[in-house]
């Protein structure tokens, strides 16, 4: 019987505007990447994670956790990326359970080529239209939401930086 509070006017306006912006942003990024690099945004993110991982490799489970992806989703995605030669899956001898994924040179090349256009789009749609202050605000807001969205957020959201990449 928890008390239900509706959204007040300001919340309502904010919510609809936010939803619309996010919807359009997502569509725009996906469209640009698919069009220019033949890859959905989610796949791009997989390559980014792998490119930053030590040794350019991770286990399937660890990669899934980093991306907050279901094992299933990653498995499907990996099948496609592997068929395209972007990544390679293999077992380490002595462990017949774990599967390791590694981004190939071809994958790195594709990623680098895709990154330019992608970053340009992100800049155009987001950072070019926000003030420095708004960027900081957005950061804070996103972190707050993550607190509720990702309660077991013990899991890191990206691997400890040591690579030189910067693709999103």
Partner DNA sequence: CCGGCACGGTTGAGCGCCCAACTATTGCGG
Partner DNA sequence: CCGCAATAGTTGGGCGCTCAACCGTGCCGG
Contacts to a copy of itself by CB under 8 A: 2, 4-7, 10-26, 28, 45, 68, 116, 119-120, 122-130, 134-150, 157-158, 166, 168
List, in sequence order, every beta strand (DSSP E) within the chain.
57-59, 87-90, 100-103
Give min distance, CB of 44 to a copy of itself, in A. Answer: 11
Contact at 8 Å (CB) between 165 and 108?
Answer: no
Phi, psi of 58 (to 5 degrees): -150, 160
At 62, is the secondary structure helix, strand, or coil?
helix
Q: 25 or 100, CB closer to a copy of itself? A: 25
Q: 74 or 104, CB closer to a copy of itself? A: 74
Q: Which residues, including other chains, have CB under 8 Å from residue 49's CB and lie 6 or more apart?
A: 58, 63, 66, 67, 158, 159
Binds 159: which of DNA, a copy of itself, none (CB < 5-8 Å by kind): none
- Sheet architecture: strand order including 87-90: 57-59, 100-103, 87-90
Q: Which of the 8 DSSP states describes residue 129?
A: G
Q: Which residue has the tokens 């008390």?
A: 3
Give min distance, CB of 94 to a copy of itself, in A. Answer: 34
40-99: contacts with DNA (CB under 7 A): 40, 42-43, 59-62, 64, 69-80, 89, 95-99
Binds 106: which of a copy of itself, DNA, none (CB < 5-8 Å by kind): none
Binds 120: which of DNA, a copy of itself, none (CB < 5-8 Å by kind): a copy of itself
Which residues are at the interface with DNA (CB under 7 A)? Answer: 27, 31, 34-35, 40, 42-43, 59-62, 64, 69-80, 89, 95-100
């Amino acid at each position: 019987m928890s008390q239900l509070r509706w959204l007040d006017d300001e919340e309502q306006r904010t919510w609809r505007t936010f939803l619309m912006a996010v919807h359009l942003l997502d569509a725009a990024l996906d469209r640009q990447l698919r069009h220019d690099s033949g890859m959905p945004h989610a796949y791009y993110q997989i390559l980014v994670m792998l490119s930053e991982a030590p040794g350019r490799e991770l286990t399937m489970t660890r990669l899934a956790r980093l991306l907050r992806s279901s094992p299933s989703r990653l498995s499907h995605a990996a099948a496609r990326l592997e068929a395209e030669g972007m990544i390679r899956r293999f077992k380490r001898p002595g462990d017949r359970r774990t599967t390791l994924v590694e981004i190939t040179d071809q994958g790195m090349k594709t990623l680098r080529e895709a990154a330019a256009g992608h970053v340009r789009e992100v800049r155009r749609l987001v950072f070019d239209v926000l003030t420095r202050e708004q960027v900081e605000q957005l950061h804070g807001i996103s972190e707050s939401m993550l607190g509720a969205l990702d309660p077991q957020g013990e899991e890191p959201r990206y691997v400890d930086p040591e690579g030189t990449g910067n693709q999103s």
